């Protein structure tokens, strides 16, 4: 049952992937200037050399052929090489992905911890002063421009206090500021969704029954409410995780952090098609995998989903 | 016709304003931005591109209340003039998003079938994907500039409206009023735009407010990457982009545009939330 469900969900992602491939491919094809002109400058190479290069890079084929050729190579794992450095895209993407994964995982862990803890406090006394302050804090969190917040942190911790490096990647100290930046910007949404989900569960009969049986408030929330609200929270954190895979590009730029998002932007600036394609398709794959994992966590968390499926 | 339409709108604005002090402050800030944009030439102490190289990167003083930037331009004046590109971005991006997104969502949801299947797969694909990459790809295709950024934001935000309006019309089209409109022979076009659209305007309006706040953040982010507004436009994001190179020398040049973006986004979010509470039938019944 579970295996066929996994297979079913995985199959659903194939058209999605196809659409993403088609959209990105069309967009990149629309980019002004082709890679050959970029390589050789305004005048371009002599016509024979250009023709040879076009043939070598497959740029002389019709759009549909180029697209299907490309899709075929993606599915067989041949992602091409960077037009400039000649480095295989898969290797480059994987190396950049490691950096992004590190940043995303750490910052989301911090954001979830803060968000869920605050939601817990808020739910214990709805509409109290604490609840309202937490509401304001969450809204502040997702209203902060992330690039500005990153710069403010650099200004405080790197420039004034000289405690932490302002960017780059290497040790743990390089990770503190970018992950704090992302955590602060992301905890608000997690807190809000957790609070709403927990409040909804809170008003249900089984919670009242648990309270009537004399369980402490803390126990009711932790054991009954949290568990039932977990689905909404897991969904959101999963979605954020996928979004940050490429969406951390601004933070990566501010902190000169060599992640996937930054790589795609660099690719766009230099029209390095394989890099742009590789990066975007890779992010899409990661997002889909995360979504699939979230679906599977449902199964583990909620027996109702399990029964409905079988 | 117009007063008849405006009266309830005015009434709900009043209700919104009385809702909570935070909402009142946020609405005042938005109103203030509208007025600054209208009166920028009269209110701003200096022109937005008035360069004074003798007075570069000065911290706040009496004649430059928020200090000057790397070209000696008055930051306060640039912020005030910056409300114009800001409003331009909000209005045009949200209009693009609402019109294209809602149109696609309504048609797809109403007619269903194979088109709906394809449309919803495309929306799913786009939504499961970091929107900034879509916006980046669009900007890279069209080239940098405020107009292109606006189109990019509009397209990236349109998916939200498509999904929202599709979900709404799926519910609405089973309603009695839609069935009776169809029974008396109203065309699909008439049913969708004359009957369903007014009934789902509330949620779309709420979403527009949130779209406005994200449009501000998007524009600032893209300008910050050097892909948005080009100098000497007093775009707040661009001001931040230019100031970041001097941030150790003149942190104020970077602080104030950031604060301006932050406060504006916060205001739109607060108003959006209040509007949603107001539109929510459960709350509306309580308020009546």
Interface of B with A (CB under 8 A): 22, 121-122, 124-126, 128-133, 136-138, 140-141, 143, 213, 217, 220-221, 224-225, 240, 244, 247-248, 251, 254-255, 257-258, 261-262, 265-266, 269-270, 273
Nearest to B132 among A139, A155, A247 (CB): A247
Q: CA-to-CA distance for A64 and A269, rounded, in angstroms?
A: 25
Tell if the CB–CB gap between B247 and A151 is shorter than 8 Å. Answer: yes
Å from A12 to nearest chain B CA?
10
Can you tell me the ipTM of this complex? 0.84
Q: CB-based contact (8 Å) between A151 and chain B?
A: yes
Say which residues have a Cβ less than 8 Å from residue A84's Cβ, sequence separation at least 6. Answer: A39, A270, A272
pLDDT value for A29: 73
CB A292 within 8 A of CB A13: yes
Which two three-digit tokens encode residue B141? 């295709």
Closest CA to A126 of A187, A207, A196: A196
Residues of B whose CB is below 8 A from A20? 125, 129
Q: How confident is the model at residue B285 (pLDDT cuts 50, 70, 90)?
A: very low
Q: CB-based contact (8 Å) between A247 and chain B?
A: yes
pLDDT at B98 over 90: yes
Cα B27 to chain centroid, rounded: 15
Tell if the CB–CB gap between B133 and A283 is shorter than 8 Å. Answer: yes
Q: Model-level pTM?
A: 0.85
A163 burial level (CB within 10 Å; 0-12, 13-18, 19+)? exposed
CB A39 within 8 A of CB A5: no
The DSSP output letter for A164 is S
Of all residues in chain B, the one with the smallest CA distance to A24 is: B137
Cα A279 to chain centroid, rounded: 13
Å from A55 to nearest chain B CA?
24
Angle at alpha carbon of residue B211, lines to B206 and B212, rounded to 5°: 100
Tell if the CB–CB gap between B128 and A146 is shorter than 8 Å. Answer: no
Q: How confident is the model at residue B288 (pLDDT cuts 50, 70, 90)?
A: very low
Q: CA-to-CA distance for B144 and B139, rounded, in angstroms?
A: 6
pLDDT at B213 over 80: yes
Angle at alpha carbon of residue A231, lines to A305 and B159, rounded to 5°: 100
Residues of B whose CB is below 8 A from A145? 217, 220-221, 240, 258, 261-262, 265
pLDDT value for B284: 47
Residues of A whose CB is below 8 A from B122? 19
Tell if the CB–CB gap between A144 and B262 is shorter than 8 Å. Answer: yes
Residues of B whose CB is below 8 A from A243? 130-131
**b/e burial code for range B125-140 (CB count within 10 A of at least 16 → b):** bbebbbbbbbbbbbbb
Q: Scan residues 290-309 of A and list those with Cβ closer than 8 Å to B.
A: 291
The DSSP output letter for B128 is T
Tell if the CB–CB gap between A31 and B141 is shorter than 8 Å. Answer: yes
pLDDT value for B4: 63
pLDDT (mean) for B277-288? 55
Q: CB-based contact (8 Å) between A246 and chain B?
A: yes
Rounded average pLDDT per 10-residue block, chain A, 310 residues: 71 79 75 66 73 75 80 79 84 90 92 93 86 91 91 89 80 86 92 88 85 85 82 84 79 89 82 79 82 78 63
């Amino acid at each position: 049952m579970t295996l066929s469900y996994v297979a079913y969900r995985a199959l659903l992602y194939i058209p999605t992937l196809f659409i993403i491939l088609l959209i990105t491919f069309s967009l990149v094809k629309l980019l002004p200037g082709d890679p050959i002109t970029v390589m050789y400058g305004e005048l371009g190479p002599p016509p024979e050399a250009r023709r040879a290069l076009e043939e070598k890079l497959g740029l002389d084929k019709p759009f549909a052929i180029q697209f299907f050729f490309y899709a075929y190579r993606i599915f067989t794992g041949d992602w091409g090489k960077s037009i400039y450095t000649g480095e295989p895209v898969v290797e480059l993407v994987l190396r950049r992905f490691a950096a992004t994964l590190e940043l995303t995982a750490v910052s989301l862990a911090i954001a979830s911890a803060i968000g869920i803890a605050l939601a817990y406090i808020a739910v214990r006394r709805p509409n109290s002063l604490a609840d309202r302050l937490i509401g304001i804090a969450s809204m502040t969190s997702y209203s902060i421009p992330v690039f500005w917040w990153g710069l403010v942190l650099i200004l405080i911790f790197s420039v004034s206090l000289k405690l932490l490096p302002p960017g780059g990647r290497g040790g743990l100290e390089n990770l503190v500021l970018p992950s704090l930046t992302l955590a602060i910007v992301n905890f608000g949404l997690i807190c809000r969704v957790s609070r709403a989900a927990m409040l909804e569960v809170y008003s249900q009969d089984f919670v009242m029954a648990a309270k009537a049986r004399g369980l402490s408030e803390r126990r009711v929330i932790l054991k009954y409410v949290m568990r039932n609200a977990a689905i909404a929270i897991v969904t959101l954190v999963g979605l954020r995780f996928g979004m940050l895979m490429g969406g951390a590009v601004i933070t990566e730029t501010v902190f000169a952090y060599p992640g996937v998002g930054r790589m795609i932007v660099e690719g766009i600036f230099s029209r390095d098609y394989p890099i742009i394609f590789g990066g975007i398709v890779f992010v899409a794959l990661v997002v889909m995998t995360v979504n699939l994992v979230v679906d599977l966590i449902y199964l583990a968390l909620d027996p109702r989903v399990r029964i409905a499926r079988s | 016709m117009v007063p008849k339409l405006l009266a309830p709108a005015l009434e709900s604005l009043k209700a919104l304003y009385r809702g909570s002090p935070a909402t009142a402050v946020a609405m005042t800030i938005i109103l203030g931005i509208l007025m600054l944009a209208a009166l920028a030439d009269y209110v701003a102490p200096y022109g937005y591109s008035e360069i004074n190289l003798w007075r570069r990167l000065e911290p706040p003083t009496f004649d430059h209340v928020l200090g000057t930037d790397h070209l000696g331009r008055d930051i306060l004046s640039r912020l005030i003039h910056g409300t114009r590109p800001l409003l331009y971005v909000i209005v045009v991006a949200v209009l693009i998003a609402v019109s294209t997104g809602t149109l696609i969502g309504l048609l797809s949801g109403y007619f269903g079938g194979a088109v709906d299947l394809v449309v919803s797969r495309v929306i799913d694909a786009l939504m499961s994907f970091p929107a900034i990459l879509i916006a980046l790809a669009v900007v890279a295709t069209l080239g940098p500039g405020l107009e292109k950024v606006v189109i990019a934001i509009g397209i990236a935000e349109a998916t939200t409206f498509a999904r929202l309006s599709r979900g709404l019309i799926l519910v609405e089209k089973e309603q009695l009023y839609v069935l009776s409109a169809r029974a008396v022979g109203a065309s699909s076009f008439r049913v969708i735009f004359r009957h369903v659209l007014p009934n789902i305007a509330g949620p779309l309006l709420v979403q527009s407010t949130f779209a406005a706040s994200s449009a501000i953040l998007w524009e600032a982010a893209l300008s910050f990457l050097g892909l948005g507004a080009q100098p000497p436009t007093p775009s707040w994001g661009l001001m931040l982009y230019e100031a970041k190179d001097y941030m150790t020398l003149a942190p104020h040049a970077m602080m104030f545009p950031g604060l301006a973006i932050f406060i504006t986004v916060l205001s739109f979010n607060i108003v959006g939330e209040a509007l949603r509470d107001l539109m929510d039938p459960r709350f509306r019944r309580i308020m009546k």
